[in-house]
Structure 1
Amino acid sequence: MAYKGYFIDLDGTIYQGKKSFPSGKRFIERLKAANKQFMFVTNNATRTPEQVQATLADGHDIHVDLDQIYTSAMATADYVAQLPNVHQVLVVGENGLHQALASKGLKIVTQGLADAVVVGLNRNLKYDDLMYATLAIQQGAKFIATNIDTNLPNEKGMIPGAGSVVASVQTSTQVDPIVIGKPYTPIMEGALERAGLTVNDVVMVGDNYNTDIKAGINLKMDTLLVYSGISTKEQITAAQIKPTHEVDSLDDWFIE
């Protein structure tokens, strides 16, 4: 089927940590040659778009524009900025999340009163981060999570994802967060708005059925699962709703 646009996951799909997937580079080159619109839609909220762009270029020889990158940090900032009466945000996360929220004119704090608490992956997490987030939510702050990925693929293996940090705050507050990243729809809706495309124009490409593919399914968008990362054929056999398309490698996908 001919799609106008492609939303593409990064970790486990185009590369795995510092490990390049040659098929990922070839896939992007084929999309460019076919003049297809594409955007990397990633749940990783730790890096700025500039850092993602540099990682792709320097680490994997894939060269894209900044407007072809949309992270869960950016999607979270888009979402929080449109909430009424939210001006001060307590953040548990890394530089990419801090910068995205600050770019919307929001005041960032790490303790004390806040209108909202935003939690993402923080690889320098301290107990105090969890404590202040818990206290702010108990005092009425909205609880928002960039994503709840259980694991993050990298060259070492499947390391703890943002979900492990979110779960700590969720346990201590007994409050369920509003989740922005895949498989939830806010990040997908934000990507469509930025791309100027509709659901029927786009296919969501990824390696993880529970995030990438379910994100497409939840928005009634076609999906393309590549068996290069998390999900296995055995898992998909048992899935009630199957991906629209499945390939062993992105080299196997024909771009119409």
Structure 2
Amino acid sequence: MKPKYTTLLLDLDGTVYAGDAEVPGAADFIRRCETAGIRCLFVTNRSNRTREVVVEQLLSYGIPCEVERVVTTAIATARYLGSGSAYVVGEHGLETALLDQGIRITDRNADAVVVSIDRQFSYDKLKTACRLIYGGAKFVATNTDAFLKVEDGIVPGSGSIVAAVRTGSGREPVVIGKPEPLLYDMALAICGATPAETLVVGDNLATDIGAAVKAGMDSVLLLTGVSSRKDLIPGAPVPTYVAENYAALAAIVFPA
């Protein structure tokens, strides 16, 4: 039977890998998709690594990938801002994307304050961010993930830092990443696919599936990361499918 979907948009952390470790079955499944002519793009809320680093990790598992098939919140945030200056609460991947866009990074009179994961976050950074926002800088968050899956368990995500700046500034951010649909819209524009022929695969019900619902795309909640069946409660985003692992996902994508 011909596969229903021509394009897959896969999350990374908790879906394809956890820390440095491949999620079991991910590489074999993605290679099978590529062989069958199904395009696989990788769409991540993580901003702290460049696309080149992501590609290097995927290639280490034997997953075919080019830079153009990786969509990160760092790239999307840079394109959203377009130009000007920004104070960055974040890491190398985000700063690189902003600089490549021609955005000047500064801690004085910035046009925008961009907040993301920052493992060196401090009170001084919080104070600087809030004071700039008080002065009129636009408050932009790459994403608001409360936590993410790594090799040894769950760790706080960008959302914890965004919450600190939100509380300290009294302002709400413009959110670039999932559960907003912008990243998926960018991915579809890159590959020329339509929502009807695209399947979203992710482990986070609130972000991955939430964005798919807003974008009008079918989705699979893959139970390899942060969300579980107990999270499927009234009021939560509703995935089209739920899969325990990549074997179950393959049965959805390649029906008998």
Report TM bin, short chain. Answer: over 0.9
Instruction: Give me the TM-score of the superposition, normalised by structure 2.
Output: 0.93
2:85 pairs with 82, 85, 88, which one?
88
CA distance in 1, matches of 2:79, 2:161: 22
Give the one of 234, 239, 251 matched to 2:230.
234
Equivalent pair of 1:134/1:173 in contact (CA under 8 Å): yes
Q: Which runs of 5+ in 2 are unaligned?
A: none
Q: Please give the per-residue CA displacement for 1:23-51, whole angstroms capped at 9, x wherever unaligned.
A: 11111111111111121000110000001
1:214 aligned residue:
210
Rounded to whole Å, the distance in 1 between the matches of 2:136 and 2:236 is: 38
Q: Secondary structure at the match of 2:25?
A: helix
Structure 2 SS opposite 1:28: helix
Residue identity opposite 2:35 in structure 1: A
**TM-score, normalised with respect to structure 1:** 0.93
Structure 1 residues 240 and 21, CA, compared in 2 at 3 Å: closer, same or farther?
A: closer
Picking from 167, 190, 212, the partner of 2:186 is: 190
RMSD: 1.5
Q: What's 2:198 paired with?
A: 202
1:62 to partner: Cα distance: 2.4
User: Would you say the 8 A contact 1:26–1:251 is kept in 2?
Assistant: no
- Matched letter for residue 56 of structure 1: L
- The residue that corresponds to 1:163 in the other structure is 159
- What corresponds to 2:95 in structure 1? 98
Distance change in 2, residues 1:240/1:140 (3 Å):
closer
Give the stretch that moved more between structures: 187-196 or 155-164.
187-196
| 1:1-256 superposed matches below 5 A | 2-58=4-60, 60-81=61-82, 86-109=83-106, 111-236=107-232, 238=234, 241-252=237-248, 253-254=250-251, 255-256=253-254
Contact 2:77 2:142 survives alignment (8 Å) = yes
Q: Which amino acid aligns with 1:191?
A: A
Shift of 1:18: 2.0
Change (3 A) 1:241 1:114: closer
Give the secondary-structure state (helix, strand or coil) at the position aligned to 1:35: coil
1:89 to 1:220, Cα distance in 2 relative to 1, 3 A: same
Report if the CA contact (8 A) 1:78-1:190 is conserved: no
> How far apart, CA to CA, are the structure 2 residues paired with 1:129 and 1:196?
40
SS at match of 2:199: strand
For 1:104, give the aligned amino acid: Q
- SS of the residue corresponding to residue 144 of structure 2 reads coil
Q: Give 1:241 deviation, angstroms.
A: 4.6
- d(CA) in 2 for partners of 1:146, 1:225: 22
1:61 CA displacement:
3.3
Count matched residues.
250
SS of the equivalent of 2:105 reads: strand
The percentage of aligned residue pairs carrying the same residue is 38
CA distance in 1, matches of 2:183, 2:102: 20
Which segments of structure 1 move beyond 4 Å, counting only runs of 4 or more? 237-241
Please state whether the residue corresponding to 1:22 is helix, strand or coil: coil
Checking the alignment, whether the CA contact within 8 Å between 1:79 and 1:186 is kept in structure 2 is: no
What is the CA distance between 1:239 and its match in structure 2? Answer: 5.0
